[in-house]
Amino acid sequence: MRMSVLSTGGRMPSWVSEGWQEYANRMPPNLPLQLVELSLAPRSKQGSTVKAQAQESQRMLKAIPSPAHVVALDPKGRSLTTEQMAERMEHWLQDGKEVVFLIGGPEGLSDECRARADEMWSLSKLTFPHMMVRVLLAEQLYRAWTIIQNHPYHR
């Protein structure tokens, strides 16, 4: 099984890239975590953010491999505990399908991306910058894996 994160945005600050890499590297070889960065659509002072979001969403939908189990990260999604996330990961491991996480840009995910998702999760009731979400997600996926392995990382 493989897990991929489709995220809009590029040219992340070094702390984002380093944070992502730290947790992605901790994942075992049989459960790799891959980041696919999709470029942000151009924005202008007169431009519509709805148009930019639609362009980003089309890129994201085209990048989803088939077949895949899609999890959209969205404030309207279901909140999970880390233990519940570990249970979901065990289910995915048994299923064997690639799991793809969708992280939207500054305006979030479009209705089309949310409709394509098999699950919608909210990482928190707080609002985070989209670039920070990739680091939080990578850490939580690593933590869920350590729970499955009875590793002491999650105490």
Structure confidence by residue, pLDDT tens digits, 6-25: 998 877 889 999 999 999 99
Global pTM reads: 0.93
101 is in an annotated binding site: no
Tally of CA atoms within 13 A in the half-sphere of 2 that contains its CB: 11
Distance CA 50, CA 66 (A): 27
- Vertex 107, ends 48 and 112: CA angle to 5°? 90
Task: With beta carbons less than 8 A apart as the criterion, state whether 10 and 39 touch.
Answer: yes
pLDDT on residue 70 = 98
pLDDT on residue 65 = 93
126 is in an annotated binding site: yes
**3-class secondary structure per residue, 71-118:** EEEEEEEEECCHHHHHHHHHHHHHHCCEEEEEECECCECCHHHHHHCC
User: Residue 67: is the preceding peptide bond cis (ω within 30°)?
Assistant: yes
104 is in an annotated binding site: yes
128 is in an annotated binding site: yes
pLDDT on residue 35 = 95
Beta strands at 3-8 and 68-79: parallel, antiparallel or unpaired: unpaired
66 is in an annotated binding site: no
Structure confidence by residue, pLDDT tens digits, 104-148: 988 889 999 999 999 999 999 888 888 899 999 999 999 999 999
Residue 47: is its pLDDT beyond 70?
A: no
pLDDT on residue 87 = 97
Question: What's the mean pLDDT when you consider all of the chain?
Answer: 91
pLDDT on residue 31 = 94
137 is in an annotated binding site: no
pLDDT on residue 130 = 81
Distance CA 56, CA 129 (A): 16
Residue 48: is its pLDDT beyond 90?
A: no
- Which residue, 8, 4, 7, 102, is CA-closest to 49? 8
127 is in an annotated binding site: yes
- What are the chain's domains? 3-148 (3.40.1280.10)
